[in-house]
Amino acid sequence: MLRIVTEPADWTAVLGGLGRPSVMAGPVYARAAAALEAGGTAELAVWEAEGHRLAHPYVRRPVPLAPDESDLISVFDFGGFWFSTDDPAARAALLAGFEPAFAAHCRDAGIVSAFVRFHPFQAVDPAAFRRFTVWKFFDNVVVPLDRAMGAIRRDYAPSRRHKVRQGGRYAPVIDRSADYGPFLNVYHANLDRLNADPFYYFPLSFFDAVREHLDLFYLHDTDGRLCAAHTYLRDGDTVFAFLCHSDADTLEVRPNDVLFDHAIEHYAARGFRCLHLGGGSPTLTHYKGTFSPRRVPYFLGRAVFDDARYGDLTRRRAAIEGMDPDAIGFFPAYRCNERNAAAVHRGAKERAKIRDMGPESDED
């Protein structure tokens, strides 16, 4: 049976039967993430059959060209599907019942499409999906923390170890803090420099809503300049490098190198199993990979629930933008604009560039 849950108490009760789902699957985080989307609301689709349960959290948001219709997207940063069983056959059976029921619900509710960013520590079997198309996008960088710090650092690229030592010679001061004001200044300044999508300008209210799961570190130089500000999300025995930024005018003190190294040591000493550094642009993924050779696969998924409406909305977008959204590869195509089309193109160029780099290339 399919049901859609929105109330936090009911949501929490559903997740209670799923072992240890991610913080990002919970109602507090999902509601905070939904507030980042214009008109967004957090929902949890639940399917129960044969004594097992599947839960799929997402944000429902209005379609810009048709505000009475909507589409679905994972919370920032990851969503996916959580199960009450680890048995692959039982999971496949749950999906076989859930997908057609959920697709019918979406058509009836005016939901055109869905885009899923799978949590990187979920066991994802693309072949188990029938209604969603699921594929591996790329690998994310992870740092296993269940070792001595010396062994962890030996996995750094030699150039990265050198630059961590180089940064340490500047005697930086690292502090934990609960004041997100300076962080937002650094974060938003970098977004300005990168001409980032307006979506990423997260307000203070988001951090206030999820602060019980976050750690904030500042790195200052000996003159008191704020050089870097990193946030980390604690998620069970895993930590995510969540939003990590530095002042572009202070890079000579290697603030990101030193602060990532500090975070690795900090969480390893506290018994966490793994630090997820993630991916991003190919250049950024290459940089993160100099801290660890270990990778986990990162999957994306998409579904169209109303082909006719999807096609109509895409044609309308093409007429507005003067481009063919389908040819660009952005999903959903009816949300494609000049900014995200350029981002898709830039990512392809960077991936080609990284393929020509040796493992010790150091473009950070």
pLDDT, one tens digit per residue, over 155-174 is: 999 999 999 999 999 999 99
Instruction: Give the global pTM.
Output: 0.92
pLDDT < 70 regions, the chain: 338-364
Annotate 144-211 with DSSP letters as a single string.
E-SS-HHHHHHTS-HHHHHHHHHHHTT--EEEEES--HHHHHHHHHHHHHHT--GGG---HHHHHHHG
Tell me how far CA of residue 163 lies from CA of 55, 252, 255, 256, 261, in angstroms.
44, 10, 10, 10, 11
35 CA to centre of own chain: 16
pLDDT at 20: 80
pLDDT at 234: 98
Report which secondary-structure segment, H or E, holds 33: helix 27-34
Domain 2-139+298-355 falls under CATH 3.40.470.10: no
| Parts of the chain belonging to CATH 3.40.630.30 | 2-139+298-355, 141-296
Residue 181 main-chain phi, psi, to 5 deg: -60, -55
Q: Domain 141-296: which topology? A: Aminopeptidase (3.40.630)
pLDDT at 347: 57
pLDDT at 341: 60
Return the structure tokens found at 242.
């969540």
CB 82 within 8 A of CB 25: yes
Tell me how far CA of residue 325 lies from CA of 244, 295, 314, in angstroms.
31, 32, 7
Half-sphere exposure of residue 258, counting CA atoms within 13 Å on the CB side?
A: 26
Cis amide linkage into residue 77, ω under 30° from 0: yes
